[in-house]
Amino acid sequence: MTQHHEELRVELVDWLESEPTIRAIREAVFVFEQAVPKELEWDGLDPLCAHVLAWNDLGEAIGTARMQANGTIGRMAVLKDWRGRGVGRALLQTLLDLAARQGLSRVTLAAQIHALGFYEQAGFHVVGEPFMDAGIPHRSMARDLLLPQAGPERR
Protein backbone atom coordinates (compact mmCIF):
# COMPACT_ATOMS: atom_id res chain seq x y z
CA MET A 1 0.00 0.00 0.00
CA THR A 2 1.44 3.35 -0.96
CA GLN A 3 0.92 6.29 1.29
CA HIS A 4 0.21 9.63 -0.32
CA HIS A 5 1.97 12.40 1.55
CA GLU A 6 0.72 15.89 0.79
CA GLU A 7 3.10 18.76 0.53
CA LEU A 8 2.58 21.25 3.30
CA ARG A 9 4.22 24.65 3.54
CA VAL A 10 4.08 26.87 6.60
CA GLU A 11 5.45 30.37 6.56
CA LEU A 12 5.60 33.48 8.66
CA VAL A 13 3.44 36.09 6.95
CA ASP A 14 2.81 39.81 7.17
CA TRP A 15 -0.56 40.60 8.80
CA LEU A 16 -1.43 43.46 6.44
CA GLU A 17 -0.70 41.42 3.31
CA SER A 18 -2.33 38.23 4.60
CA GLU A 19 -5.27 39.60 6.59
CA PRO A 20 -7.99 38.58 4.07
CA THR A 21 -6.67 34.99 3.93
CA ILE A 22 -6.29 34.74 7.71
CA ARG A 23 -9.77 36.22 8.25
CA ALA A 24 -11.34 33.69 5.87
CA ILE A 25 -9.83 30.71 7.73
CA ARG A 26 -10.58 32.00 11.23
CA GLU A 27 -14.16 32.97 10.34
CA ALA A 28 -14.77 29.52 8.81
CA VAL A 29 -13.45 27.74 11.91
CA PHE A 30 -14.30 30.00 14.84
CA VAL A 31 -17.23 32.17 13.76
CA PHE A 32 -19.21 29.73 11.59
CA GLU A 33 -18.18 26.29 12.88
CA GLN A 34 -17.76 27.09 16.59
CA ALA A 35 -20.18 30.04 16.82
CA VAL A 36 -17.63 32.42 18.36
CA PRO A 37 -19.04 35.97 18.15
CA LYS A 38 -17.16 38.06 15.57
CA GLU A 39 -16.43 40.78 18.13
CA LEU A 40 -14.61 38.25 20.33
CA GLU A 41 -12.68 36.72 17.43
CA TRP A 42 -11.42 40.09 16.18
CA ASP A 43 -9.82 41.41 19.37
CA GLY A 44 -7.63 44.10 17.79
CA LEU A 45 -4.37 42.31 18.68
CA ASP A 46 -3.61 40.92 15.22
CA PRO A 47 -1.47 43.85 13.99
CA LEU A 48 0.81 43.28 17.02
CA CYS A 49 1.20 39.51 16.48
CA ALA A 50 3.39 37.24 14.40
CA HIS A 51 1.23 35.19 12.02
CA VAL A 52 1.78 31.90 10.24
CA LEU A 53 -0.16 30.41 7.34
CA ALA A 54 -0.17 26.81 6.12
CA TRP A 55 -0.59 26.06 2.42
CA ASN A 56 -1.36 22.76 0.70
CA ASP A 57 0.34 21.54 -2.48
CA LEU A 58 -2.29 23.36 -4.59
CA GLY A 59 -1.35 26.67 -2.98
CA GLU A 60 -4.55 26.92 -0.94
CA ALA A 61 -4.34 28.40 2.56
CA ILE A 62 -5.56 25.71 4.98
CA GLY A 63 -4.55 26.89 8.44
CA THR A 64 -3.31 29.80 10.50
CA ALA A 65 -2.11 30.73 13.99
CA ARG A 66 -0.61 33.74 15.72
CA MET A 67 1.77 34.57 18.56
CA GLN A 68 1.86 37.72 20.65
CA ALA A 69 5.20 39.31 21.54
CA ASN A 70 4.98 37.83 25.06
CA GLY A 71 4.87 34.28 23.67
CA THR A 72 1.12 33.73 23.87
CA ILE A 73 0.07 31.48 20.98
CA GLY A 74 -3.51 31.61 19.82
CA ARG A 75 -6.13 31.64 17.09
CA MET A 76 -4.87 28.27 15.81
CA ALA A 77 -7.35 27.35 13.08
CA VAL A 78 -7.17 24.52 10.55
CA LEU A 79 -9.91 24.07 7.96
CA LYS A 80 -12.06 21.02 8.74
CA ASP A 81 -10.95 18.88 5.78
CA TRP A 82 -7.30 19.30 6.78
CA ARG A 83 -7.49 18.37 10.48
CA GLY A 84 -5.57 15.34 11.68
CA ARG A 85 -3.05 15.68 8.86
CA GLY A 86 -0.18 17.47 10.62
CA VAL A 87 -1.20 21.02 9.73
CA GLY A 88 -1.72 22.17 13.33
CA ARG A 89 1.53 20.52 14.40
CA ALA A 90 3.42 22.34 11.62
CA LEU A 91 1.83 25.70 12.51
CA LEU A 92 2.66 25.22 16.19
CA GLN A 93 6.26 24.14 15.50
CA THR A 94 6.85 27.20 13.32
CA LEU A 95 5.70 29.49 16.16
CA LEU A 96 7.76 27.55 18.75
CA ASP A 97 10.85 27.95 16.54
CA LEU A 98 10.12 31.67 16.22
CA ALA A 99 9.71 32.01 20.01
CA ALA A 100 13.07 30.29 20.57
CA ARG A 101 14.78 32.54 18.00
CA GLN A 102 13.30 35.57 19.79
CA GLY A 103 14.82 34.35 23.06
CA LEU A 104 11.51 33.61 24.82
CA SER A 105 11.92 31.09 27.64
CA ARG A 106 8.26 30.10 27.79
CA VAL A 107 5.21 30.07 25.54
CA THR A 108 1.61 29.92 26.70
CA LEU A 109 -1.77 29.33 25.14
CA ALA A 110 -5.42 28.77 25.98
CA ALA A 111 -6.45 25.37 24.63
CA GLN A 112 -9.98 24.22 23.97
CA ILE A 113 -10.54 21.16 26.19
CA HIS A 114 -10.83 18.79 23.21
CA ALA A 115 -7.35 19.86 22.02
CA LEU A 116 -5.44 19.26 25.29
CA GLY A 117 -3.91 16.01 24.04
CA PHE A 118 -2.66 17.70 20.86
CA TYR A 119 -0.81 20.35 22.87
CA GLU A 120 0.45 17.84 25.47
CA GLN A 121 2.06 15.86 22.62
CA ALA A 122 3.84 19.11 21.67
CA GLY A 123 5.31 19.46 25.17
CA PHE A 124 2.73 21.76 26.78
CA HIS A 125 1.35 21.19 30.28
CA VAL A 126 -1.88 22.39 31.87
CA VAL A 127 -1.65 25.37 34.22
CA GLY A 128 -4.57 26.37 36.43
CA GLU A 129 -8.26 25.60 36.37
CA PRO A 130 -10.66 25.23 33.42
CA PHE A 131 -12.35 28.42 32.21
CA MET A 132 -14.89 29.44 29.60
CA ASP A 133 -13.98 31.58 26.60
CA ALA A 134 -16.64 32.43 23.99
CA GLY A 135 -18.82 29.72 25.53
CA ILE A 136 -16.14 27.04 24.97
CA PRO A 137 -14.29 25.31 27.87
CA HIS A 138 -10.52 26.00 27.84
CA ARG A 139 -7.42 25.31 29.91
CA SER A 140 -4.32 27.48 30.09
CA MET A 141 -1.18 25.65 29.01
CA ALA A 142 2.54 26.47 29.00
CA ARG A 143 5.74 25.08 27.56
CA ASP A 144 9.24 26.01 28.64
CA LEU A 145 11.69 26.46 25.78
CA LEU A 146 15.30 25.36 25.88
CA LEU A 147 17.26 28.40 24.92
CA PRO A 148 20.21 27.87 22.55
CA GLN A 149 22.49 30.09 24.65
CA ALA A 150 21.88 28.05 27.82
CA GLY A 151 25.11 26.55 29.13
CA PRO A 152 25.86 23.03 30.40
CA GLU A 153 24.53 23.93 33.85
CA ARG A 154 21.00 23.41 32.48
CA ARG A 155 21.20 19.60 32.55
Q: Cα–Cα distance between 116 and 100 in angstroms, integer?
A: 22
- pLDDT score of 7: 84
Which DSSP state fits 30?
I
Q: Cα–Cα distance between 128 and 75 in angstroms, integer?
A: 20
What is the per-residue pLDDT across 76-93, written as a single tens digit (0 to 9) for each? 999 999 999 999 999 999
- pLDDT score of 117: 96
Q: Cα–Cα distance between 130 and 141 in angstroms, integer?
A: 10
Q: Cα–Cα distance between 49 and 52 in angstroms, integer?
A: 10
Give the number of C-alpha atoms closer than 13 A to the C-alpha of residue 87, restricted to the C-beta side. Answer: 23
| Region at 69 (left for phi over 0; alpha for psi -120 to 50; beta for the rest) | alpha
- pLDDT score of 94: 97
What is the per-residue pLDDT across 6-33, written as a single tens digit (0 to 9) for each? 689 999 999 999 999 999 999 999 999 9
- Higher pLDDT: 2 or 68? It is 68
Which DSSP state fits 114?
G
| Least confident piece of the model among 40-44, 105-109, 151-155 | 151-155
| Region at 27 (left for phi over 0; alpha for psi -120 to 50; beta for the rest) | alpha
SS3 14: coil
- pLDDT score of 3: 41
- pLDDT score of 47: 97
The strand order across the sheet containing 72-78 reads 8-13, 50-56, 61-67, 72-78, 106-112, 136-144, 125-133
Instruction: Name the nearest CA neighbour of 26 among 79, 84, 87, 90.
Output: 79
- pLDDT score of 147: 62
- pLDDT score of 6: 64
What is the per-residue pLDDT across 115-154, written as a single tens digit (0 to 9) for each? 999 999 999 999 999 999 999 999 999 999 976 554 555 4
- pLDDT score of 1: 43
- pLDDT score of 95: 98
Map out the domains of the chain with their CATH numbers.
8-148 (3.40.630.30)
